[in-house]
Structure 1
């Protein structure tokens, strides 16, 4: 394996070069990009020796640049300090980890409240619901396939829920996921391999290399006959069902909780059927540092043989491990795509 030294720059709140400030105490940086509902994370890792390094104040901002050269460096994210992890072992010594989060407004969205959404107050589609739900909490971008959907039954109620919990539930019921990113809220379409704007994300190329590890589990895709969700038909006064059929198997499933409308029941059944088709395999692949690798992107494996190469993979978690003046690896956790 040919070792390459990555370019790494961390900028503090005053524009200072933190690598100069931290010096040789910095032993590594771990950056994690997740697809589902969790803010991205950066961890700065240090050796801990006297005099002990000061802990930054909560919310202290950092900007991370990483690449294989200064000219080609990519901004991987903006992060704010959240907490410190200090530990030690007799043989390995002590370490300090500064754990930073990619979205500094997430706490604002945990406040519990109630709210209703209907056509009369400007909420005819899910795109309008998400825009009004996150008003004042950063820019919102919703995948077009989700944004254009009509509000199920013409009415939605958020009752004693936080903004983030209600949004997560609504997204999941419609085949989406909520992702906070750099002061923005993205509503992604699960399993699409697309950005929130509906554009195809660049495929992560994962060639086999005996110098890098991989680990995967794959089982035959579960074949369902139908998935159904119930709703109360207020005109008939009866509990009706919407079904999603399409699998060739004999098994079926009935979702336990009734939806509030026929449209909502249909969306729930479709989302559940899609999820069943996705979680049939998982993989973990490692490669040389890849600045273009992002969670949610499709992954193309080559050289691993059957059945890995023939399987459609989607990145769920992308982790960059950078050791200053030593090396940089990217690990990609994957699931099979529908």
Structure 2
């Protein structure tokens, strides 16, 4: 099949006019606030490429000519660069980031919540950002006795809050999406399509096992209002090693349990990494489970995709590099 890419500005497709100069376009789909990016590289021999305007909005559609295209993202231009000299080709590169992350998402501010659910809090943050909210139902109903945002931007506060609950937050496509990291689910709570990679047909792979961090348990503390004492809870990682202690105490036993479980998931995901280079498939999404087979012991099995970087080349090829972490215990 034939990879097909459209880059629209104000409804007009820029690809026909860029075709004579086109080298490649790279789209990165990432889990969390790392934010999706678009980079376009063009042949700038003679400096004929006009400079883009900052915050120009670009809508990208991608897929295959035979089966159609779907939305790959809406991006705003952030900057550009030019390179050349020494006999090398002169290249103009333009970088854009997901349009949903606006300047107001970086403004500081204060706010507090009493006896609210995660859904309530993230709904308020989404409203501050001018976005709608989509949150995994398994996260939405968690109750927070008290929570404060102090001199923090909405997006920084949302990122920290999500991390404390083993989640990732992402502004894209007019929504603030909150998903459980490593679960393989989308913000609706439904499983994302599994990515299956096999040595036969693979274009390349790499995997690494990390000897550290390896911990047997995570301990979190909380203040018990009934007797005024500080107490602790323990969550097993399912591995051997020392105990990891969370420094800051939580406001309740439930929050301590969630903090310990979240940290345990994060620690186990840091014990391995892998990347697989495959032919582009528009159904692949960052955050999906990757099932590898036919490679070798240590590579075969389940991984969790963190980023998918897809390059559309001048010769018409489209290749994706799927970067993964070890699955949570």
TM-score range (shorter-chain normalised) is over 0.9
Distance 2:217 2:67 in 1: 53
Tell whether the 8 Å contact from 2:57 to 2:99 is kept in structure 1 after alignment: no
In 2, Cα distance between the equivalents of 1:246 and 1:328? Answer: 39
2:124 to 124, 132, 137: 132
Partner of 1:98: 94
User: Matches of residues 149-228 of structure 1 in structure 2 within 5 Å?
Assistant: 149-151=142-144, 154-209=145-200, 212-219=203-210, 224-228=215-219
Among 314, 318, 323, the residue aligned to 2:313: 323
Q: Displacement, 1:286?
A: 0.4
Please report the TM-score for the alignment, with normalisation by the length of structure 1: 0.90
For 1:248 and 1:278, how far apart are their aligned partners in 2?
Answer: 12
State the distance in 2 between where 1:33 and 1:213 align: 19
Contact 2:2/2:66 (8 A) holds in 1 = no
Q: Secondary structure at the match of 2:34?
A: coil
Question: Residues 5 and 324 of structure 1 are in contact (CA less than 8 Å); yes or no, is this contact kept in structure 2?
Answer: no
1:146 to 139, 145, 151: 139
- Summarize deviations over 1:43-92 as a string: whole Å, max 9, x none: 11111122532112122121222222154222211212111122223221
TM-aligned CA distance change 1:146 to 1:37, over 3 Å: same
Once the two structures are overlaid, the 10-residue window that deviates more, 327-336 or 262-271, is 262-271
Report what 1:108 is aligned to. Answer: 104
| Number of aligned residues | 327
Give how far 1:218 is off.
2.5
What SS does the aligned partner of 1:64 have? strand
Give the match for residue 78 of structure 1: 74
- How far is the alpha carbon of 1:169 from its aligned partner? 1.0
RMSD after superposition = 2.0
Structure 1 CA distance for aligned equivalents of residues 138 and 65 of structure 2: 38
Q: CA deviation at 1:256?
A: 1.5
- 2:45 is paired with a residue whose SS is coil
Q: Determine if contact 2:126/2:175 at 8 Å carries over to the other structure.
A: no
Equivalent residue, structure 2, for 1:12: 9
- Does residue 230 of the first structure (1) align with residue 226 of the second (2)? no
Question: For the residues of structure 2 that align with 1:320 and 1:250, how far apart are their CA atoms?
Answer: 38
Q: What is the aligned partner in structure 1 of residue 58 from structure 2?
A: 62
Contact 1:242 1:266 (C-alpha < 8 Å) held by counterparts: yes
CA distance in 2, matches of 1:9, 1:132: 35
> Mind listing any 5+ residue stretches in structure 1 that lack a counterpart?
none
Q: 1:165 to 1:91 in 2, by over 3 A?
A: same
Matched, 1:262 2:253: yes
Cα drift, residue 198 of structure 1: 0.6
SS at match of 2:309: strand
